[in-house]
Structure 1
Amino acid sequence: MNTLKTTAIIAFATFTASVEAQEQTVNTSESKVVWKGYKVAGSHEGTIKIESGTLQFNGEQLTGGEFVMDMTSINTTDLEGEYKDQLDGHLKSDDFFGVENHPTAKLVFTKVTPSGKNAYDVQGSLTIKGITNPISFTLSVYGSKATVNLKIDRSQYNVRYGSKSFFNNLKDKAIYDEFDIVADLQF
């Protein structure tokens, strides 16, 4: 009798856990990802598209996530015409993100810890140009929306152009290693 009772409890617990665990697909057309890069003489910003994304929940609590970014969609929004086309092309070149050989970047959540109402501290692995490094950030979830601000050090991903980490005497031509990503996600 004890074996039957134990089996029933395990089956019920497994069924309950699978009912509560759910994966939400990110609506890639309704979500928006903005990047901003900084240089000594100013900054540039633009957008990049999400190719695919999911967030995992247990009930209402975030437990995981995974995103693939379409690096070929890098788009500058603070310039127009020839200057915009030049910067978009340069960002897609091997000097920066090398999208011909690395058309996607990937973020995988490895640990999610609640840190306040609707807020989570997330540890993850970020892959850019085939190089994977750990990353930490805070993500907020409100109903079917989530927001996140990431600060990424491009030098960790062999994005060298104009970086003081790799070149001397750049003076006012230097581009800072850290750039920002702000994502407003709909799911």
Structure 2
Amino acid sequence: MQPSPPQPNPPQPGFPQYGQPAPGGPAPWGGAGQAAAPKPRANAPAAVIAGVLSLLAAAMLVWFALYNVFVAAEANGALSGITVQNMVSGTISAVVLVVAAGFTFARRIPGVWTLFGFCVFYVVAVFVGMPLVWGTPFGSQVKWLFSFDDSDSTAMALMIVFSVLAAVAAAIAGSVKSYGKKI
């Protein structure tokens, strides 16, 4: 009778077989195991377009705030309640849009949807919120916005246009996700 050739050891529970990667552990050839799936990112072209449009909207808000500074300077420094509100809200809104644009340029999905929300909020606030707060009839508000007779109405009308376009581009960027590498 001949001795049988040596048989491999049966698999041990909890230990990987020779040549097979350990579940969740490093591969025997020096790799780091299975790579995690890349996180989804916002669509690059749409995110860039949304970011640029939101920066233009922020510039219009700064223009609106500066116009109110000049109005106050012409009135010998006398600040009315609406002038102060316009200066503060224009500046804060511009800063918020710039921060959201930064996250949009980074193609972060939550940043893109935040930018979308702020853009929609600003458009609704100008058309609905301000007439309710100051008691302006809706028709007068729309006439002021799109009359382009003063610098402040021009800035707000352009801010509305850029905000609507940025909101559309942000919605596209957030909806059409990419799974590739960063650009």
TM-score above 0.5 = no
User: What is the TM-score normalised by the length of structure 1?
Assistant: 0.31
Structure (1 or 2) with the larger CA radius of gyration: 2
Higher share in helix: 2
Higher share in strand: 1
User: What is the TM-score normalised by the length of structure 2?
Assistant: 0.32
Larger RCO (alpha carbons 8 Å, 6+ apart): 2
